[in-house]
Amino acid sequence: MTKPLFTALVLDPTRMVLGLLSRRELIWQFTRRNIELRHRGSRLGAFWALLNPLSMLALYFIVFGVIYDQRFNVLPGETRFDFSLALFMGLALFHAFSETLAWAPGVIVTNPNFVKKVVFPLEALPVAHMGATAFHLLVSLGLVLLGAAFGTEGLTLSVLWLPVLILPLLLLSLGVAWGLSALGVFVRDIGQVTAFLSTALLFASAVMYPPAKILEALNGKPPLVQAALDLLLHNPLLQLIDLARRVVLWHQPMPVDVLVHLYVVGLVVFAAGAVLFALLRKSFAEVI
């Protein structure tokens, strides 16, 4: 590998990521601005950070918990309240990623003034948006834990696993955000693709049903269909949501091999996104 290529693939992304530490004050200012902008002008203001996840929970609970009478069938005597808690946790974790798919393709394109400022760290824009997304994720998970205190299983020290599970989700989301924000400068149609992808991932991540349903569907299917369903089981979002429910809400042991797999995937996507952003950043000003 030649020195310029090594610099482009390794040194530039490394400097970019490490440079974020020295720009934490700037990132915090933009994160706070993004949180405020989301609710600016509304009468209820930041209260929508509570109402939005609760309204989505109510909608999905009525459809899947009442009309279809769905259950995750893990807890003995699982109640509708237990189902709603597990559903809410799945929705909170999933929407943290789906929000990334929604804003990432346009985060650089919609800030042309920053692109033309040579000294401005453009990589901080996706990080600040990710910070706002993480804020709303914490609000939703706080509601989940509050409800879990009154659930069948209650809360135990297993709740301490929750930050361990959130980290790979943030790594995965930020890596995707960097990659999509860089590609969105050159391919403006990416936003249309990610809208469909977000809906497809919602059903592919076992948010509203237990992953055991996928295992049941494997029986008697053609080899090609079985391979597709088996690949679906390795979806990191599916694994993360199922793991969070089982460990935090249902107090089952943490499967270390699955946790390691999530961290490996998160770190790989994070690194790939950083490399892609660092490589394409030099041409942003020419396109915008």
Range with lowest mean pLDDT among 39-53, 80-94, 172-186: 39-53
pLDDT of residue 85: 87
Under 8 Å CB-to-CB from 142, ≥6 apart: which residues? none
The answer to whether 64 touches 70, Cβ cutoff 8 Å, is: yes
Residues 6+ apart with CB under 8 A from 59: none
Residue at token pair 């994070």: 270
User: What DSSP letter does each residue of 162-222 carry, written as one string?
Assistant: HHHHHHHHHHHHHHHHHHHHHHHHH-TTHHHHHHHHHHHHHHHTTSSS-THHHHHHHTT--
Q: What is the pLDDT of residue 36?
A: 82
Work out the average pLDDT over 222-228. Answer: 72
Of residues 177, 175, 166, the one with CA closest to residue 240: 166
Position 281: which residue type? R
The pLDDT tens digits for 146-188 are: 888 887 788 888 999 999 999 999 999 999 999 999 999 999 8
The phi and psi torsions of 117 (rounded to 5 degrees) equal -95, 110
- Contact call for residues 48 and 140 (beta carbons, < 8 A): no
284, 122 Cβ separation under 8 angstroms: yes
Name every residue whose Cβ is closer than 8 Å to that of residue 30 and which is 6 or more positions away in sequence. Answer: 124, 125, 128, 131
Mean pLDDT of 256-283: 94
How high is the pLDDT of residue 75? 83
What are the pLDDT digits (tens) for 141-156?
988 898 888 877 888 8
235 DSSP assignment: -
Nearby residues of 260 by Cβ (< 8 Å), 6 or more positions away: none
The percentage of the chain sitting over the pLDDT mark of 90, rounded to a whole number, equals 44
Residue 218 near residue 224, CB atoms below 8 Å: no
What pTM was estimated for this model as a whole?
Answer: 0.89
275 half-sphere exposure, CB direction, 13 A CA radius: 12
